Amino acid sequence: MIVETAPAKINLALHVRARRDDGYHEIETLFAFLRDGDELRLTPGPASFAIEGSFGAALAAEGDNLVTRAAAGFARAFGVPNEGAFTLDKNLPVASGIGGGSADAAAALRALARRHGIAIDDPRLFACADALGSDVPACLLGRSALGQGRGEQLEPLGGLTDMPVLLVNPGVAVSTGAVFAAWDGVDRGAIGGGDLLERALLGRNDLEAPARSIAPVIGEALALLGDTKGTALVRMSGSGATCFALYEHPDDRSAAADAVRRAQPGWWCLESTLA
C-alpha cells in the first residue's frame, strides 16, 4: 500500500490582476500548505475509486473525480496501464477554498510516481498536474510558493514553517466560478516584496468581497477569528468560504479554536501548522 497525505492549501494573499481571453484570470498568490488534510491510499488491483471520511458523502455521488482523472492522465503521459485501487479519506470540506480536490489529484500523481519509479520533479508529472487544474501544480509542489499566471507558474519560497494555523469553515460551499465571475475587474496591484509573512500582511484577497456577497457568513467567520488573541494574519483562503488565522504561539491557536467551537459549534475547525 502507498499512502499519501493531501495537505490543505491556503492562500496567504490572492491578487486578481486581469480577466483573460481563455476564460481564466491572471493572478498572483502566495501558496502555503498545512501538515494536515485528506489521505489517499493506493493498493494493487484493477482501477477503482472509493471515498470515505467526514466529507466523503459530498463526493460519493460523483461519477468522476480529480483522483480518477489524475490516474488516467498519468497513464497516458507515462504509457503505463491505468490500474490500482484508490481510497480517499475525505477530511476537508468540499468547495471550500483550501484546494481539497486539487490536493487529492496531486496526491494521486505522487502515489503513482512512487509506484512507477518516476521522479517527483519530472516535468511530465507537472504537465499532468497543470492539465487537471490551476491549483494542482502548487499542490504537487507542496510547499510555500508564489503562484502567477493562472497560479501554475511557481516560485518556491521559504519561511513560516511550523507556524500555528487555525482553519474555520462556516458550513457553506462556494462556487469558485461564481466568485471569480463576481470580481469587479479592478487591478489593485501586485504582491510586494519582503519575507513571506511581510508579503502576506501587505497583500489581500481580491476574492473576499465577491465571496462575501455570495455568502455573507464569511464576514462572521473573519470577525470571529479577528477577535481571537495572538493572531499574525486573518484572511479568507482562495475563493472561500474557509477562513484562517496564523498565530505566534500554539496556545493562542488552541484557545481560539475553543472560542470558535463555543460560539459556532456547527462550524468546521482544523488546528494545524504550516509545512
Give bridge partners of residue 175 from the DSSP assignment: none
Q: CA 173 to CA 148: how far, in whole Å?
A: 25
Q: CA 262 to CA 148: how far, in whole Å?
A: 39
pLDDT confidence of residue 62: 60
pLDDT confidence of residue 80: 98
Which residue among 120, 136, 156 closes a domain?
156
pTM of the entire structure?
A: 0.96
Structural domain boundaries enclosing 177: 164-273
Query: 70-81: b or e for each residue (b if 16 or more CB lie within 10 Å)?
Result: bbebbbebeeee
The answer to whether 205 and 14 have CB atoms below 8 angstroms apart is: yes
* 101 and 38 within one domain: yes
* 148 and 74 within one domain: yes
Q: Which residues are tagged catalytic?
A: 9, 135
- Residue among 74, 68, 76 at smallest CA distance from 112: 74
The answer to whether 27 and 151 have CB atoms below 8 angstroms apart is: yes
* 246 and 192 within one domain: yes
* 228 and 188 within one domain: yes
The answer to whether 80 and 221 have CB atoms below 8 angstroms apart is: no
* 168 and 147 within one domain: no
CATH of the domain at 240: 3.30.70.890
* 127 and 22 within one domain: yes
pLDDT confidence of residue 59: 77
Which residues, 6+ apart, have CB-to-CB distance to 157 below 8 Å?
30, 144, 145, 146, 196
At position 138, the amino acid (one-letter code) is A
* 123 and 10 within one domain: yes
* 261 and 237 within one domain: yes
* 183 and 259 within one domain: yes
Which residue among 129, 156, 183 closes a domain?
156
Which residue among 135, 156, 177 closes a domain?
156
The tally of domains found in the chain comes to: 2
CATH of the domain at 115: 3.30.230.10
Give bridge partners of residue 272 from the DSSP assignment: 165
* 226 and 256 within one domain: yes
* 135 and 6 within one domain: yes
Query: 88-109: b or e for each residue (b if 16 or more CB lie within 10 Å)?
Result: bbbbbbebbbbbbbbbbbbbbb
- Count of CB atoms within 10 A of residue 47's CB? 14
pLDDT confidence of residue 97: 96
What residue ranges of the chain have pLDDT lower than 50? none
* 137 and 31 within one domain: yes
DSSP 3-state of 38: strand
